[in-house]
Structure 1
Amino acid sequence: MRNNLNSFFSLPSSIEPIDLSYWGVKQKVYVKRDDQIHNIVSGNKWRKLKYNLAHYNSNNFKGIVTFGGAHSNHILAASFIAEKCKIPLILVIRGEKPNELSPTLKTCVELGAKLWFISREEYRNKDSNSGFFSKQFPNYFIIPEGGANRYGIDGCRDIIKEITIDFQDIYCDVGTGATMIGIHRQLNKNQRVNGVVVLKGAEYLDKQIRELTSNNQSNGSFRLLHEYHFGGYAKNNQKLIEFMRVFYKITGIKTDPIYSAKLFYGMIEDLKSQQKSSVVVALHSGGLQGLEGFEKRYKVKVYE
């Protein structure tokens, strides 16, 4: 199965023109449809796990440990891949064990993953306590949250390699920053990646990403947009929900309230403020599987 895993995924993902004139956008905009790569391992998740999996297979690890929240797209993708490849998987989950598992966690368990809950404080300090997890799970390959390591970054370089049109700007949502860094490494001169940050109070990402891109052999540039987090990660915001509904009605493209809706809202607002004529690409990184848990948590129905 390890050798045939690529057959599960629709790659390269398509790139489609999108008309955003309803919002007053004058630039020529395309959408890179990474949301269509796979119904479970959608968006950038396979890209960030592909080379991590190759590293796992080239060594003698006993299994994989990785991290995420109760609605994480990454842990679901990891669970699917681990089940197909018969790899023991331990998921370190942020927060105390709930009375009822989220739909995402239920599916992870059904796919054979083992859950290990830690407090939010312990989770915040997990990177400084990496030695603890190595001791707790000896000879397991530890993949950071979101697949945000050098293997995950390398996988995201393929996004740009697949784009055959000439463009000046590409927009992506930013959680850990791995996708944005991978994109930046593949840019040409006069190209820029714009990251719409989905977390509140994540200005630390500016320094972190600047350090990680300082040694990039890239001719491109980057910037982070912090204004469009809508209250923070996975928060319920009626204005954003209404935007999602209108966006779907106008474009036929569904988004999620955690990542991609913020991306498209932020990109539209940013482009409206620019007078220059340019070609723009938006990376739709998937994440629609998290809708069920979001709707259940907030008792809201996004799409009828």
Structure 2
Amino acid sequence: MGRLLLPTLPSPVEELADERLIVKGVGLLLKRDDLIHPDIPGNKWHKLRGNLDEARRLGHDTLLTFGGAYSNHIRAVVVVAAGRLFGVRTVGVIRGEEHLPLNPTLRFAVDAGMRLTYLDRTSYRTKTSPAIVDRLRAEFGAFYLLPEGGSNALGVRGCAELPAEIDRPFDVICCSCGTGGTLAGIAAGLGSGQRALGVPVLRGARFLADEVDALQRAAFGANSGNWTMAYDFHFGGYARSTPALARFIADFHDRHGLALEPVYEAKLLYALLALAEADAFPTGTTVVAVLNAMADGPGPDARREDRPPG
């Protein structure tokens, strides 16, 4: 299990010298939110903190949340580590059927004290409907409901604090997107003249623009209007990969000694380099890439099954 400690903020900002960007006159900074805690990536902590405060304010001692069997939201121990840190009981509602033995993500969650239950794929699509939530309350008692990915108004407000942690001037800040909450918050926290770019890791993710709009309106009352998305870098869909992405991960490790996590962050960095090579960034642009996770080795392949983001 991870150490029982609070995240260390702010995360470091590292300059990455890559000749493919240098020749285009583009600077790249890495916001290493993967380093703030062994179990809680930066965007998850930013999303979770306000929700924990709200749960306590409302008198709840149990958090219930949703995720896939390999969900980053579960595996990164968003609620599990928070439960160990803050004494909050946790329930994970997992998409699909139970499979034994548990995979490492779910075994980690159970070992950390999370209770698991499962919803079939059809029911999962309406997981926050009154009928299903009432059924869950009948089984687990009163709980604070944390959305999939931690993306609600409170989570978005937490992510809006992230740009202020960057102590170097920049023009564009980029993040990978699963539920849209991180992008919604980051964009809202930018200064004048700065903009945000999201790279969805899902196939057919144009619906996320509506999600980001709705999250910003819920959190701040308006769409900040300073963000866009690059939809063409999903490599087949969530948690899917291609030989081109695998080669990019291996080459990036050879160049920079960094092992990119394949589900989110490899697609983000691939997109940034491809966009720079296509002259999408004017000469002199400084780009920040927010990294929330890194891989354990130089070139892991993404799992081939399609799973919902977490």
Q: How does 1:154-173 map to 2 (within 5 A)?
A: 154-173=157-176
- Give per-residue Cα distances to partners, 1:72-101, cap 9 Å, x unaligned: 222222111112322211100011111331
How many pairs does the alignment contain? 291
The farther-off stretch of 46-55 and 210-219 is 210-219
The equivalent of 2:197 in structure 1 is 194
Instruction: State the distance in 2 between where 1:222 and 1:231 align.
Output: 24
The superposition leaves residues 36-66 of structure 1 with CA deviations (integer Å, 9 ceiling, x where unpaired) of 1112112311111111111122221141100
Query: Contact 2:241/2:303 (CA < 8 Å) preserved in 1?
Result: no
Whether 1:213 aligns to 2:220 is no
Moved more, 105-114 or 207-216: 207-216
Greater share of residues in helix: 1
Match of 1:262 among 267, 289, 292: 267
Residues of 1 paired with 2:225 and 2:36: CA distance? 26
**Aligned equivalents of 2:273, 2:291: Cα separation in 1:** 14
Cα distance in 2 for residues equivalent to 1:183 and 1:296: 26
How many Å separate the matches in 1 of 2:233 and 2:47?
24
Correspondence 1:13 to 2:14 = no
Q: CA contact under 8 A between 2:170 and 2:287: conserved in structure 1? A: yes
1:238 corresponding residue in structure 2: 243
- Say if 2:241 and 2:301, in contact at 8 Å, map to a contact too: no
The aligned residue for residue 56 of structure 1 is: 55
What is the TM-score with the length of structure 2 in the denominator? Answer: 0.86
Distance between the aligned counterparts of 1:48 and 1:149, measured in 2? 8
> What residue identity is the alignment partner of 1:232?
G
Instruction: Give the superposition deviation at 1:132.
Output: 4.6
Q: Which amino acid aligns with 1:282?
A: A
For residue 65 of structure 1, what is the aligned residue in structure 2?
A: 64
1: distance between equivalents of 2:60 and 2:238?
Answer: 33
Cα deviation 1:107-152 (Å, max 9, x = unaligned): 0000010111111121122133445545554420000001101111
Matched, 1:31 2:34: no
Corresponding residue SS for 1:121 = helix
- Distance, in Å, in 2 between the alignment partners of 1:297 and 1:251 is 24
Matched letter for residue 71 of structure 2: S
Q: Which amino acid aligns with 1:51?
A: G
C-alpha displacement of 1:240: 1.2
Q: Distance in 2 between matches of 1:18 and 1:287?
A: 15
AA in 2 matched with 1:241: A
Cα distance, 1:264 vs structure 2: 0.5
Say whether the 8 Å CA contact 2:63–2:79 is kept in structure 1. Answer: no
Kindly indicate whether residue 148 of structure 2 is the aligned counterpart of residue 141 of structure 1.
Answer: no
Residue 179 of structure 2: which of 166, 176, 181 is its match? 176
Question: What CA RMSD, in Å, does the superposition of the two structures yield over aligned residues?
Answer: 2.4
Distance 2:160 2:171 in 1: 16
User: Cα offset for 1:25?
Assistant: 4.5
Q: Which amino acid aligns with 2:209?
A: D
The separation in 1 between residues aligned to 2:211 and 2:225, in whole angstroms, is 17
Q: Which runs of 5+ in 1 are unaligned?
A: 299-304
Distance 1:161 1:296 in 2: 32
Letter of the aligned partner of 1:193 in structure 2?
Answer: A
In the superposition, relative to structure 1, how do residues 201 and 36 fare at CA in structure 2: closer, same or farther (>3 Å)? Answer: same
1:123-138 correspondence runs (5 A): 123-129=124-130, 130-138=133-141
Indicate yes or no: 2:83 matched with 1:82: yes
Q: Which residue in 1 is equivalent to 2:286?
A: 279
* Contact kept in structure 2, 1:191 and 1:220, CA below 8 Å: no
CA distance 1:225–1:100, change in 2 (3 Å): same
* One-letter identity of the residue aligned with 1:78: V
Moved more, 56-65 or 130-139: 130-139
Whether the 8 Å CA contact 1:25–1:268 is kept in 2: the answer is no
Residues 92 and 281 of structure 1, relative CA distance in 2, 3 Å threshold: same
Structure-2 change in CA distance of 1:93 and 1:25 (3 Å)? farther
Q: Is the 8 A contact 2:262 2:301 kept in 1?
A: no
Deviation at 1:8, TM superposition (A): 2.5
**Unaligned residue ranges in structure 2 (runs of 5+):** 305-310
Q: Deviations over 1:248-288 (max 9, x none)?
A: 22122222111111111111111222243211111012164
Preserved CA contact (<8 Å) 1:19 1:29: yes
User: Structure 1's 60 and 287: CA in aligned 2 closer, same or farther, altered over 3 A?
Assistant: farther
Shift of 1:295: 6.0
Instruction: Measure the CA separation in 1 of the matches of 2:41 and 2:201.
Output: 18
Cα distance in structure 2, aligned partners of 1:284 and 1:25: 22
- After TM superposition, the structure 1 stretch with the greater mean CA deviation from structure 2, 190-199 or 216-225, is 216-225
